[in-house]
């Protein structure tokens, strides 16, 4: 019942143009035995696809219960490269999303995430290191360091999740597949000069490959 109340409230707020601004729920807690990496994006001009990827986890309410969503996103284009759903917060679904992104696209120069145990796990960081990727992590409590994926979560929830109220994870997976296809291919972004993530991703990636 609480999940339905949350969905209903969010829908009413969206229709009224009201949006709460607050740091996200801390889903990925640090692990005391894992290495923490420095934040590498401060002052860095990020202008092309493949330069920086980022990842984060968010909580999705359903009509009965909840699940977790992780996404790997290209920073410059906002393109969602891979994602996974899970009903637990272990690292495996994050590693699966990263593996898919690395299988489908050239590895980025830098990968940014928060300091959560999923992203500092040996399975996750080892995969990045094996592909020669430099690892960057947000400062503790600095959710704005990964601001573009935070904006992705806002879009996903207000344009999709809160409007439907998934009954199950299979339904959520099916509906999110359609949403992310729309998001990448047809959703225009003011911050991208009214272009879609796909347009920016492939045009800037092509520029890099042509120049090389």
Domains of the chain (ranges; CATH) run: 2-182 (3.30.420.10)
Burial of 39 (0-12, 13-18, 19+ CB in 10 A): middle
The pLDDT of residue 190:
86
Q: What is the pLDDT of residues 81-139, one digit of tens each?
A: 999 999 999 999 999 999 999 999 999 999 999 999 999 999 999 999 999 999 999 86
44: exposed, middle or buried (Cβ count in 10 Å: 0-12, 13-18, 19+): middle
Residue 178 has pLDDT above 90, yes or no: yes
Residue 63 CB neighbours (<10 A) = 14
Q: Residue 69 belongs to what H/E stretch? A: strand 66-74
Highest mean pLDDT, choosing among 93-107, 135-149, 151-165: 93-107
Pairing of strands 110-113, 134-137: parallel
């Amino acid at each position: 019942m609480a999940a339905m109340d949350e969905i209903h409230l969010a829908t009413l707020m969206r229709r009224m143009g009201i949006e709460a601004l607050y740091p996200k729920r801390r889903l990925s807690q640090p692990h005391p035995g894992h290495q923490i990496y420095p934040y590498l994006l401060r002052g860095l001009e990020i202008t092309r696809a493949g330069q920086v990827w980022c990842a984060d986890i968010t909580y999705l309410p359903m009509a009965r219960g909840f699940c977790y969503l992780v996404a790997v996103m290209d920073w410059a284009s906002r393109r969602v490269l891979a994602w996974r759903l899970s009903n637990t917060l272990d690292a495996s679904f994050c590693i699966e999303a990263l593996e898919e992104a690395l299988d489908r696209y050239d590895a980025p120069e830098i990968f940014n995430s928060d300091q959560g145990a999923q992203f500092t796990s040996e399975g996750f960081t080892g995969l990045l290191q094996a592909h020669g990727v430099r690892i960057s992590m947000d400062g503790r409590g600095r959710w704005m360091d990964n601001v573009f994926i935070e904006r992705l979560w806002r879009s996903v929830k207000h344009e999709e999740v809160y409007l439907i109220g998934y009954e199950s994870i299979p339904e959520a997976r099916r509906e999110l597949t359609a949403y992310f296809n729309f998001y990448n291919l047809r959703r225009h972004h003011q911050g991208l000069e009214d272009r879609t993530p796909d347009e920016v991703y492939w045009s800037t990636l092509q520029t890099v490959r042509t120049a090389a």
